[in-house]
């Protein structure tokens, strides 16, 4: 992120504790790691790690994980969660547009709901490519544009939410284009969360959501793209 959003670690934890948040986060996480493939023994960078959900998942699967975030409070929350789970993370303060790591260092780069808040997303995509080893993979998870969740966020932005007023929501074509312009080969684009922001709808539709993802059904609130850096 270019700057910290108005979200804080308590809001992240509160969201995960709700029925809607529990179901939604699990579907998003499963999609990202399905596209990432096996991570055991691999070096992983989680850009915009927040309070560490994706970094911790990668570490629990046997990866060596570095998390980067612009917000020190989020990094402290990630460190506390890692300690509680007896998992090891390297956590660095930094921006997606200027990652504080060497070039060609990581086998896998994750960037989940971070580029939507970056002022210069082109620079962010280039940084993801820069830190990948040849043959390495990047998986991006972003907010989709054409769905009821996006409409709700737009309304919240109009009503004064600085976070959602600043957020950029994406189409599949935009994400493909940015990755290709960064020199990466796009392999797959999928969506998740094909239900409105309702716990009842989530309970009913979550079992079929992975099928809708594989079928590339329209209307996904969450878009995930995998791409590789050519050898």
pLDDT-derived band at 165 (thresholds 50, 70, 90) equals low
pLDDT higher than threshold 60 for residue 88: yes
- Check: CB of residue 47 under 8 Å from CB of residue 111: yes
The average pLDDT across 31-53 equals: 97
pLDDT higher than threshold 70 for residue 152: no
pLDDT higher than threshold 90 for residue 67: yes
- Check: CB of residue 105 under 8 Å from CB of residue 133: yes
Backbone angles phi, psi at 50, to 5 degrees: 60, -130
pLDDT higher than threshold 70 for residue 156: no
pLDDT of residue 13: 86
pLDDT of residue 4: 39
Lowest mean pLDDT among 34-48, 164-178, 201-215: 164-178
pLDDT-derived band at 212 (thresholds 50, 70, 90) equals very high
How many Å apart are CA 50 and CA 174, to the nearest integer? 24
Name the architecture of domain 9-43+104-228.
Answer: 3-Layer(aba) Sandwich (3.40)
The average pLDDT across 144-160 equals: 67
| CA distance to 52, 72, 74, 193, per residue, from 77 (Å) | 8, 9, 5, 26
Question: In the predicted model, what is the mean pLDDT of the chain?
Answer: 90
The average pLDDT across 149-160 equals: 62
pLDDT of residue 163: 62
* Token pair listed for 74: 């989020």
Return the domain boundaries, the chain.
9-43+104-228
The helix-helix angle for 72-84 and 9-17 (nearest 10°) equals 50
The average pLDDT across 6-23 equals: 85
pLDDT of residue 1: 31
Strand partners, 138: 109, 227
Lowest mean pLDDT among 24-33, 144-153, 188-197: 144-153
* pLDDT tens by residue, 104-147: 999 999 999 999 888 899 999 999 999 999 999 999 999 888 77
pLDDT of residue 168: 77
């Amino acid at each position: 992120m270019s700057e910290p959003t108005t979200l804080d670690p308590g809001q992240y934890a509160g969201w995960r504790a709700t029925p809607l948040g529990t179901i939604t986060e699990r579907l998003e996480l499963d999609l990202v790691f399905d596209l990432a493939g096996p991570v055991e023994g691999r070096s992983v960078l989680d850009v915009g790690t927040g309070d560490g959900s994706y970094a911790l998942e990668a570490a629990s699967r046997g990866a060596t994980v570095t998390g980067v975030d612009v917000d020190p409070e989020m990094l402290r929350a990630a460190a506390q969660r890692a300690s509680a789970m007896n998992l090891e993370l390297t956590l660095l303060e930094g921006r997606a547009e200027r990652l504080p790591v060497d070039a060609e260092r990581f086998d896998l780069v994750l960037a989940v709901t971070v580029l939507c808040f970056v002022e210069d997303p082109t620079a962010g995509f280039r940084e993801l490519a820069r830190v990948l080893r040849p043959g390495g993979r990047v998986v991006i998870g972003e907010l989709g544009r054409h769905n009821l969740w996006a409409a709700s966020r737009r309304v919240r932005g109009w009503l004064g939410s600085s976070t959602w007023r600043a957020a950029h929501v994406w189409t599949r074509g935009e994400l493909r284009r940015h990755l290709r312009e960064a020199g990466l080969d796009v392999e797959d684009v999928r969506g998740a969360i094909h239900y409105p922001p309702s716990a009842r709808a989530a309970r009913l539709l979550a079992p079929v959501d992975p099928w809708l993802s594989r079928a590339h059904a329209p209307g996904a609130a969450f878009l995930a793209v995998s791409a590789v850096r050519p050898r």
